[in-house]
Amino acid sequence: MSVVFDTQALLVLYMGEKGAERVAELLRQVLDRKIKGYISVVNLAELYYILGRKDRKMADEKERNLRSFGVKIAPVRDNALWKEAALLKASHSLSLADAFAAATAKDLKSKLVTGADPEFGNIDDIQIERVGNS
């Protein structure tokens, strides 16, 4: 099994919100190599700028933290991924970063772990796990 972390799920963890324990458990499973964990480079950039606005050192620390768990950074390596993200954005009420998270999950045939917000709705071919407040 593999998971793709959306920015919001990681913010739930790093801000200590309800659902943080589930995200921490998934990261422990990645660390223990029970599952594979990924984050789109676009979502990593989003996480970094959100945290960096508050504290640049914290943003650097949280990026290192993700890598230390073994979360792999999924690059936008070809036209298929960015086009899939664009099509998802065009047909769903998603932010661009959310569209990249969904496209990455779809490409990697992974579960998408996100926050409780309903933006993702029903996207074909993607299993979604929501954490946090509903």
Residue 89 burial (CB count, 10 A):
18
Is pLDDT above 80 for 44? yes
Maximum pairwise Cα distance, the chain: 38
Q: Which residues are paired to 129 by β-bridges?
A: 113
Q: What is the pLDDT of residues 11-41, one digit of tens each?
A: 999 999 999 999 999 999 999 999 999 999 9
Q: What is the pLDDT of residues 100-126, one digit of tens each?
A: 999 999 999 999 999 987 787 778 789
Q: How far apart (Å, rounded) are the C-alpha atoms in residues 132 and 121? A: 16
Identify the architecture of domain 2-130 in CATH: 3-Layer(aba) Sandwich (3.40)
Residue-range domain boundaries for the chain? 2-130
What pTM was computed for the model? 0.93
Residue that is written with structure tokens 């509903």 in the block: 134
Is pLDDT above 90 for 132? no
Q: How far apart (Å, rounded) are the C-alpha atoms in residues 92 and 100? A: 12
DSSP 8-state secondary structure symbol assigned to residue 112:
E
